[in-house]
Amino acid sequence: MSEVGAGAGSVARILARVCPNGDVTATDIDTRFFERLAAEERITVLRHDVTQDGFPADSFEVIHARMVLCHLADPAHVLAAMAEWLSPGGLLLVEDLDLGPADASPHPVMRQGLRLAEQTLGVSQGSDLRLGRRLQALVTDGGFTFGGMRVQPVMIGDGGPADEFWRLSFAQLRDFAALSNVALAGELDAALSLIDHPGFTDLGMNAVSVWGRKPVRPTG
């Protein structure tokens, strides 16, 4: 199995636990936050740029990537590489966010805060926080046999894990904006304090998971 863009390594660890007969290769361009997993049985930690570094064909039976494709300039190209690395019949599971629901937020302050966050990440990192909406088409167009799709609404202001994600994101972007644009910093501050305002909740985004299999026989 491969956990691509393993981040802090939590999913790599889960994969190793739920598949006691499988080996997990956990990759990232920055392995600092899960280097410790190298000490665990059946987990290999590998510094690997998924856009440039390869694996031999048919290396894995399962490939998982969560919130990685959205940061890459050409996700279709990376999915094509993943199809090579999977053995025939192998399972692909990719997960990304869709910030589309933020456009319809009834809270102008949050709508604006999320819009600024999306724009800033898009410009500074090239990230596409709406990739989740295109994920199914990318997987199907990539030649995988479509397996299924799950969409989970992610709230802001309900005390869930997304609150901390947005607190940190707004605070970081606010510091970035404050250097150049005081008006933006004020708007990000307003969104930041709204998260913890009593009675506030909002649908911020959807988390999209799509899975499929590499065909046993080549298509076409």
Ligand X SMILES: C[S@@+](CC[C@H](N)C(=O)[O-])C[C@H]1O[C@@H](n2cnc3c(N)ncnc32)[C@H](O)[C@@H]1O
Contact residues for 124 (Cβ-Cβ < 8 A; gap 6+): 176
Residues in the chain: 220
Residues 4-63 contacting ligand X, CB under 6 A: 5-8, 27-30, 49-51
Report the residue number, 32 or 217, with the smaller CB distance to ligand X: 32
Q: How far is the CB of 9 from ligand X (least distance, A)?
A: 8
Piece in contact with ligand X (CB under 6 A), picked from 3-11, 81-89, 162-170, 194-202: 3-11
How far is it, in rounded angstroms, from Cα 101 to Cα 114? 10
Residues 104-133 contacting ligand X, CB under 6 A: none
Q: How far is the CB of 11 from ligand X (least distance, A)?
A: 6
The residue number with the shortest CB distance to ligand X is 7
Q: How far is the CB of 119 from ligand X (least distance, A)?
A: 18
Contact residues for 26 (Cβ-Cβ < 8 A; gap 6+): 2, 3, 6, 9, 12, 34, 37, 43, 44, 45, 46
Is 99:205 a contact under the CB 8 Å cutoff? yes
How far is it, in rounded angstroms, from Cα 132 to Cα 119? 16
Interface with ligand X: number of residues (CB under 6 A) = 16
Q: How far is the CB of 46 from ligand X (least distance, A)?
A: 10
In the block, residue with structure tokens 């000490």: 39
Binding mask 69-108 for ligand X (x = CB under 6 A): --xx------------------------------------
Piece in contact with ligand X (CB under 6 A), picked from 36-44, 68-76, 155-163, 170-178: 68-76
SS3 204: strand
- Picking from 70, 31, 30, 77, the residue whose alpha carbon sits closest to that of residue 51 is 77
The only residue of 12, 26, 66, 130 in contact with ligand X, by rule CB under 6 A = 66
Binding site for ligand X (CB under 6 A): 5-8, 27-30, 49-51, 66-68, 71-72
